[in-house]
Amino acid sequence: MAINSAQYIFGEFSPDEFNQFFVTPRCSVELPPYNETVSCGIKPTEILENVRLIHKPVSLQPRGLINKGNWCYINATLQALVACPPMYHLMKSIPMFSKLQRPCTSTPMIDSFVRLMNEFTNMPVPPKAKQALGDKIVRDIRPGAAFEPAYVYRLLTVIKSSLSEKGRQEDAEEYLGFILNGLHEEMLTLKKLLSPHNEKLLVSNGSEAQTVHEEEQDEQGEGSEDEWEQVGPRNKSSVTRQADFVQTPITDIFGGHIRSVVYQQSSKESATLQPFFTLQLDIQSDKIRTVQDALESLVARESVQGYTTKNKQEVEISRRVTLEELPPVLVLHLKRFVYEKTGGCQKLIKNIEYLVDLEISKELLSPGVKSKIFKGQRTYRLFAVVYHHGNSATGGHYTTDVFQIGLNGWLRIDDQAVKVISQNQVVKPSAERTAYLLYYRRVDLL
């Protein structure tokens, strides 16, 4: 099954691996997903098409997740997604069907996450006067009963992800990619049900649309991409190629774009746009000690070796990456697992400093959007951290800290164990665990 929409970046996946992990047919008998009319007379497909994202935080009674196998990387990811308000509200807006109503489905991922969000119930936000008591509120709040989200675990088998292979080291960032890409792909299917005669469904997800990698430009045929010359600051021109891109509610929450520009002497700049769900931050350099250091390193201009022309002549080129569009929910991936040429993998156990409040400086933005993205749109607040425990890249454990609006404070969740912690414990370095995924929300949407 080929993917026609833009590929989102999660680590180092080849197109074949991407299709294998994220675009495998969901069911042996494909039924039109969510094509029934619910009791209110509205088709769920239309709900998704007309959805308006709600970013208002919701106070949920916390619940631990029972781990009877090796599912800590899933449980940690699920807790972070439950703590993400637009994700929670999106799934709550979709009707939930029983197995009797829909015995077979082509959207198992949507079904499972709608069910997951419905496992959590609202908890009243305490009055401001009580919030000042702090410790007393902590004692008053009790987690709900822990449960096992076995229906979420089964998605790995239903969709035949390599994450379900025995003996394989599981990765929370790879699993997040599996989930977000899977939800995105299922929602694209729903869009096609509403617009069966519109094959492209092309929309813009920023100041420009998605473009292909420059290395692939000579290999791809004509048809799906458009090419134009863009004149930027100081009258510099660059050649950009546009590919089809379709928005879904998932891209509206997590989707951002980076601009990659290739510089070659005596040639026009070649610019490409790449969509992402997680922003990959290389932390290998000894100079990188903070998240800000990693972000500045991301946009630093670098030389590219081994680049040849069509005539097989080697040329000197350099590349620079900048941020073209910032998503409402920004997930930073601290790349702790480094693959060696011999095939092995090592974990970087260095501490990387991060703050609750993060400002994306204008220097990190693409020249064409610096004046368009205001400070509130590039300022973020932390709401979840996924940690990896242990010094080995082939084992370990995952836990999550999440901000709980009912507490006006933080919870530490280790599978079914839930406890209250201070904000200082969230950002303080620890020898037993290292931050792996940082989940931030834009402050202008809080």
**Quick one: angle between helices 172-194 and 72-82, nearest 10?**
50
Q: What is the largest CA-CA distance in the chain?
A: 73
- Tokens, residue 202: 């092309």
Residues 267, 270, 271: CA angle, nearest 5 degrees: 155
Listed in sequence order, the DSSP H helices in 165-288 are 172-194, 249-254
- Residue of 55, 213, 389, 397 marked catalytic: 397
Q: Which residues contact 275 (CB under 8 A, 6 or more apart)?
A: 6, 7, 8, 9, 205, 210, 245, 251, 255, 256, 257
Residue 253 dihedral angles phi and psi, to the nearest 5°: -90, -50
Classified as helix, coil or strand, 123 is coil
- Other Cβ atoms within 10 Å of 374 Cβ, number: 9
What residues are paired with 115 via a beta bridge? Answer: none
Tell me how far apart the alpha carbons of residues 365 and 170 are, in angstroms, rounded to a whole number. 33
- What is the separation of C-alpha 137 from the centre of its chain, rounded to a whole number of angstroms? 33
- Residue of 40, 55, 72, 184 marked catalytic: 72
Find out whether 384 and 439 touch, Cβ atoms under 8 Å: yes
CA distances from 418 to 84, 343, 411 (A): 18, 38, 7
Tell me how far apart the alpha carbons of residues 45 and 28 are, in angstroms, rounded to a whole number. 21
Tell me how far apart the alpha carbons of residues 341 and 215 are, in angstroms, rounded to a whole number. 22
CA distances from 392 to 88, 116, 199, 346, 432 (A): 33, 31, 46, 7, 12
Handedness of CA 102, 106, 107, 108 (dihedral sign): positive
72 is catalytic: yes
Q: Look at strands 397-404 and 379-389 and give their pairing.
A: antiparallel
Find out whether 230 and 271 touch, Cβ atoms under 8 Å: yes
Tell me how far apart the alpha carbons of residues 257 and 324 are, in angstroms, rounded to a whole number. 5
Residue 314 burial (CB < 10 Å; 0-12/13-18/19+)?
A: exposed
What is the set of active-site residues? 72, 397
